[in-house]
Amino acid sequence: MYTKAKNDVGRADTLYGLGGVHQSLSNYSEAEECFSQALEIFTKSGSDSGRANALRGLGEFYYSQSDYTKAEELFIQALEMYTTLGDYIGQAYAWLGLANVHRAQSKYGEAEGYCNRALAFFDRIEFSLGRAKALNGLGEIYRLLSDYTKAEQCFKLALAAYTSIRIGSGRAETLHGLEEINLSRSKYAEAEECFTQALTIYTNIGLDLGRANALRGLGELRLCQARNGEANLLLKDAMRIAERIDHVEGALEAKRLLARGFEEENRPTRDRPPPRNLHRTGEVKSSTNSSVGAGVIPKNL
């Protein structure tokens, strides 16, 4: 319809929206193609707001591929354009993108600063979804810094915000953060409850990457409890899903955990280590972590 009517901006808007959908479903090559085409059309048509959005979308793509240098360049370009346009929501989302990039490189001070800037903007304009994303991002930073009290506070605030606006994928992402905290404190029952809730949400909304992450988390929990048989079944399911959606990092992590479980299962009983506390020092990126939160990348008007 847009092509026949020669409505270039409308076609670019559609491509941008499709890029967000593909990104949320972990269809990364399709997302890149849509964002790139949208950027080209927006640039030719002189739509600065559309160009800024497409730049940010491409930033999310390169972040998901762990190309942090390229992602940072694109987020900075988008931020500069949003600032010129006076687009507060766009600026805040660009800051969240930069927070992701710095957090992934263990630059926690810079990441915290970007998240706090975004949170201040979202609070000022009373944008609940953005506030939930920023709080979730701060929770993840504090968790990685082992400041579990602050992390738990942020995750619980984010969970309440996502629940109030009925964003299931955001709830699941925040539950994942709470899972990690409970595991680090050896609160296995609470961790299992969070994993199970997240798995149910991801299954209901059809988000395979989130489902794989939740299954892998449950498998790792079972390893911590020395329940290796159950762990192997969960981890094999997680690996199959990750391989099917071409999520290399997730598949490799599941394989690593399977190897660990096999090694421990075949070790003489007297030599097996006791169930241990789990504390992850890194992250597995997911589509719901895009822009530090969940859902399709918003289009800013």
Share of the chain above pLDDT 90, in %: 70
Share of the chain above pLDDT 70, in %: 86
Burial 175-184 (b: 16+ CB within 10 A, else e): bbbbbbbbbb
Residue type, 83: T
Give the chain's largest Cα–Cα span: 75
Looking at per-residue confidence, does 300 or 240 come out higher?
240
Structure tokens at 93: 């989302």
Res. 292 pLDDT band, cuts 50 70 90: very low
For residue 194, the model assigns a pLDDT of: 92
Looking at per-residue confidence, does 218 or 6 come out higher?
218
For residue 28, the model assigns a pLDDT of: 82
For residue 55, the model assigns a pLDDT of: 97
| CA–CA distance, 139 with 282 (Å, rounded to integer) | 14
What's the pLDDT tens digit per position in 94-142?
Answer: 999 999 999 999 999 999 999 999 999 999 999 999 999 999 999 999 9
| CA–CA distance, 63 with 86 (Å, rounded to integer) | 25
* Residue 298 C-alpha from the chain's centroid: 15
| CA–CA distance, 138 with 152 (Å, rounded to integer) | 10
DSSP-assigned letter for residue 232: H
What mean pLDDT do residues 247-274 have? 77
For residue 239, the model assigns a pLDDT of: 96
Sequence-separated (6 or more) residues with CB below 8 Å from residue 43: 51
DSSP-assigned letter for residue 293: S
Minimum mean pLDDT among 25-39, 66-80, 89-103: which range? Answer: 25-39
- By C-alpha distance, which of 262, 180, 255 is closest to 221? 180
Place of tokens 């003489």: 268
Place of tokens 């289009």: 299
Q: Is the pLDDT of residue 224 over 70?
A: yes
Mean pLDDT of the chain: 86
Res. 200 pLDDT band, cuts 50 70 90: very high
Other CB atoms closer than 10 Å to residue 229's CB: what's the count? 9
- Would the pTM count as exceeding 0.85? no
